[in-house]
Chain A
Amino acid sequence: DADVTQTPRNRITKTGKRIMLECSQTKGHDRMYWYRQDPGLGLRLIYYSFDVKDINKGEISDGYSVSRQAQAKFSLSLESAIPNQTALYFCATSDDRLAGRLRSSYNEQFFGPGTRLTVL
C-alpha cells in the first residue's frame, strides 16, 4: 500500500461547488503539505501543517481552506470552486524531527499520487 494516498484521483466539478480533497499517510510524519501544480509553474505551496493544532498558509492560500483531522489526515477544501483552480494537487509529508541536519539519504518530502481537479 502507498504511504501517502490522495482521494479522489480525478474530479470534474462545476463553478461554485464545494470540493474536498483528502490526504492520508501511514508514514507517521508530523508535517503535511498541500501543493498545487500548474503547467509551466512547478509546484506552489497552498497550506502546511506542523501538527494537528498547527495550520499555516502557504504562498497561494486564497480560495482554499484545510483541516488536519488527525496526524495522518490533511484535507484541502475549495469552498466555492472557480475555473482557475483547475490544476494538479499534491499532498506531501515530511519528518522534521530530523530537519535540523538537512542531511539525508532519504526522501525529504514524500508526495502522494496527485489529484487532477477540473473546474468547469
Chain B
Amino acid sequence: AQKITQTQPGMFVQEKEAVTLDCTYDTSDPSYGLFWYKQPSSGEMIFLIYQGSYDQQNATEGRYSLNFQKARKSANLVISASQLGDSAMYFCAMREASGSARQLTFGSGTQLTVLP
C-alpha cells in the first residue's frame, strides 16, 4: 500500500489566490513526521515545512501552512497569496520513528502552476 498519496498530479491557481495541495498518509507508527518539499524546474529539493505527529498545532512557515488532520491521516499544504515563483513540483513525505533507515518516503508529487 502507498504510504504517501498525492491525488492531484497537477493544479492551477491564480496569482495571489490561496491553494491547497492534498496529501494523505498511511502508518501504524504513533510517532512520525510529515514534510513538504518544493522542487522547481531547476531540480533541487527545497524544504518547506514540517509537522510532527505529536504537535498540537498546525505548522506554519511564512505563506506555507500545513492543515494536519491526524484522524483522517491527512497533511495538506496550504499556500497563501500564490506567487509566480511558486510554480513547481511539490512533494509530501513522511518519516516514521520506527524505521531503521530514517529515510523519507515520498509521494508522487503535485505540479503546481501559478497563472498571472
Given A102-B97, A103-B52, A107-B47: A44 and B106 interface contact (C-beta under 8 Å) = yes
**Who on chain A is nearest to B37 by CB?**
A111
A9 to B85, CA, bound (A): 23
- Shortest CB-to-CB span from A8 to chain B, Å, is 13
Would A58 and B103 count as touching, CB distance under 8 A? Answer: yes
A45 touches B43 (CB 8 A): no
* B interface, size bucket: 20 to 34
Among A41, A109, A113, A116, the residue within 8 A (CB) of B104 is A109
Residues of A within 8 A of B (CB-CB), count: 30
* Complex CA–CA separation, A52 to B35 (angstroms): 27
Residues of B close to A33: CB separation below 8 A: 101, 103
Q: Which listed residue, B31, B95, B100, B101, touches A108 by the CB 8 Å rule?
A: B95
| A48-62 to B contact mask, C-beta < 8 Å, 1/0 | 100000001010000
